[in-house]
Structures are given as C-alpha cells and as structure tokens.
Amino acid sequence: MADFNEQHVFITGGASGIGFAMGQAFGRRGAFVTIADINVDRLDEAVGKLSGEGIACGAKVLDVTKAGDWAAAVSAVESESRPIDILCNNAGISQGSRKDGNAIMLADMSEDLFRLVLDINVVGLFLGIRAVVPGMIERGRGHVVNTASLAGLIAPRGFSAYSASKFAAVGLSESLRAELSEKGIGVSVLCPGGVQSSLVNSSSERREDTIGQGSDQAAGFLSERPANPDTMLAISVGERVVEAVAANDFYILTHPEYAPLIEERFAAIHKAIGTSAQPGYRDPQRLLDASRNLAYLD
C-alpha cells in the first residue's frame, strides 16, 4: 500500500463526495489533508469526520473561480503546515436538469449558466494550477490530479455545457502533463462515471448563489436529489486516485463498462480521417513534431 507520510494533499470540493473521499483515502495513508470548499457548513462537518477518523487535516474556505481566494489559501496553508505536494483540482458542478428529469438542451440554456459551468469546471482548474504549480516547479516535485468525468471523453445528448467543460479539463491535463513531466511533476486526469455524491444539490446551490434562476427560470431545475445508490461509492474512486498518484498514472478511469462508448467515439473520428482537403498537400514535418504529445506514449 502506498505511503503518503509527510505529504500535504490539497483538495478542492473536499467537503463532499469524491473530494472528501480522496481526503479519506490519502489521509488513511498518512498524508496531511487540506480540504477546500465554498460551503462553510459542509467544510466544518467534513473536517470533523476526517479528524474523527484520526486523519491530520485542515480546512480552507475557497471559491475556485477567484484568484484572490487561491492566493490567500495557498499562502496560509503552506505557512501553517508545509508546501503542497499533491493538488486535487476536484470542485465542479453539473449543468443541471429539469424537475421532470429532462435535460437542459444547449439551445435553451442561458448564457449565465453556460459561463458558470465553464468558470467553475475549467477556469477553477487553471487558477489552482497557477497558484500551486510554480512552487512545485521550484521544489522539483509534486502531482496534480484534475477531476474531469467520462463526459470529458464522450459527449452524450443533454450534457453539452458539462461535456464542453470536462473535455477542456481533459485537454488541459493532457497538455499540462507534457509541460510538467520534464520538471518532475506528475499530472493525472480523473474520468469517473456515476458516483454517489451531492452533485445535484451542490450544483443547485452554486447556481442559486451566483446567477439564480435568471432566464433559466422556465427550465424548472431539479435542485435536490439524494446520492444515487445505483452508482459507485465515492470512497472506491478516492482509493483509485491514491493508487494512480502513487503509480503516476495519466488517465484515471474507474468505470471500464464505458469502454465500448469511448471506442465508438474513437471509431467515428477515425472514420472521418480521409484524404487531404488540398490534394498533394501535407503539413510540414516540423508542425507534426510540434503537435506530438509524448505523454500519450508513456
């Protein structure tokens, strides 16, 4: 079993669901865990639970979309305990659905909601990386885990904004892995399927606190739903993340039953690779060389 003694793990969205489970899994292996979240009540409760298990931990209130929150939180936790060794950029929201269970289609979605999903799920990752990774580069070690989703590898109907944000999380992570590997820093991207969590409730809270119902009023959002017992336990995902960081795995896939759906997407892309739009033309080799991501060949 991997040992994370003397390691400081900083987890956003750490007060609930997958983030909290990562905290438990790293903490049970000796790490000092900082959970950061925008919801103060959930954060207090979560720290209580971790401490109750004997896990050394702290908490920070943080909105991942605010650069100032990141700067304050990172400087405070790094002086209170030790530099961050592992950053889990996990906070995120769903795009929501209607009370009747129907999806919110892109053509019906408000600009506010689209921007909110992208702000938390993508800009939040960027700000976390900018706040924490320069220190890792200076120290020549560290690991970043970005939580995407299977919706970052396939884009089902009714997931347009969410998939746009999670594809961005995957793309950002793929490029970042290539940028940081030469600096001794690992990057993993987590792409789970269904997991028991409070995502419906917490996404609804974020919507209410920021944009309200706005022009999405007519959508009649589903705002509360208990964790779906038919989906995977969050702790199973947390445990897998810990193993993946220990092994410096690139993609963290927890639900192999989706493999055929991912293959269908690859096959559709492959089928579209035909002849050059300009017969006889091909990009110069230097462009191809610059486009190659060696992280795919790890």
Ligand X SMILES: NC(=O)c1ccc[n+]([C@@H]2O[C@H](COP(=O)([O-])OP(=O)(O)OC[C@H]3O[C@@H](n4cnc5c(N)ncnc54)[C@H](O)[C@@H]3O)[C@@H](O)[C@H]2O)c1
Among residue numbers 235 through 294, which ones bind ligand X (CB under 6 A)?
none
Q: How far is the CB of 241 from ligand X (least distance, A)?
A: 11
Q: How far is the CB of 33 from ligand X (least distance, A)?
A: 15
Which residues are bridge partners to 87 per DSSP?
10, 144
Tokens of 212: 């309200």
Q: Stretches 17-25, 76-84, 238-246, 270-278: which one binds ligand X (CB under 6 A)? A: 17-25
Pick one of 24, 95, 198, 204: the residue that binds ligand X (CB under 6 A).
Answer: 198
Does 57 participate in binding ligand X (rule CB under 6 A)? no
| Active site positions, annotated | 162
Does 23 participate in binding ligand X (rule CB under 6 A)? no
Does 189 participate in binding ligand X (rule CB under 6 A)? no
User: Residue 5: helix, strand or coil by DSSP?
Assistant: coil
- Taking Cα atoms as reference points, which of 143, 194, 204, 178 lies closest to residue 18? 194
- Between CA 259 and CA 262 the distance in angstroms is 5
Pick one of 13, 58, 186, 238: the residue that binds ligand X (CB under 6 A).
Answer: 13
Does 27 participate in binding ligand X (rule CB under 6 A)? no
The answer to whether the CB of 140 falls within 8 A of the CB of 183 is yes
Does 95 participate in binding ligand X (rule CB under 6 A)? no
Q: How far is the CB of 135 from ligand X (least distance, A)?
A: 20
Does 18 participate in binding ligand X (rule CB under 6 A)? yes
Tokens of 51: 């401490």
Does 153 participate in binding ligand X (rule CB under 6 A)? no
Q: One-letter amino acid identity for 168?
A: A
Q: In the sheet that 32-37 helps form, which strands lie side by side, from edge to edge?
A: 57-61, 32-37, 8-12, 86-89, 142-147, 185-191, 251-253
- Taking Cα atoms as reference points, which of 253, 138, 133 lies closest to residue 186? 133
- Taking Cα atoms as reference points, which of 54, 104, 58, 103 lies closest to residue 79? 58
Pick one of 86, 189, 199, 242: the residue that binds ligand X (CB under 6 A).
Answer: 199
Chain center to CA of 192: 10
Does 12 participate in binding ligand X (rule CB under 6 A)? yes
Contacts to ligand X by CB under 6 A: 12-13, 15-19, 37-39, 42, 62-65, 90-93, 120, 124, 147, 149, 192, 194-195, 197-199, 202, 206, 231
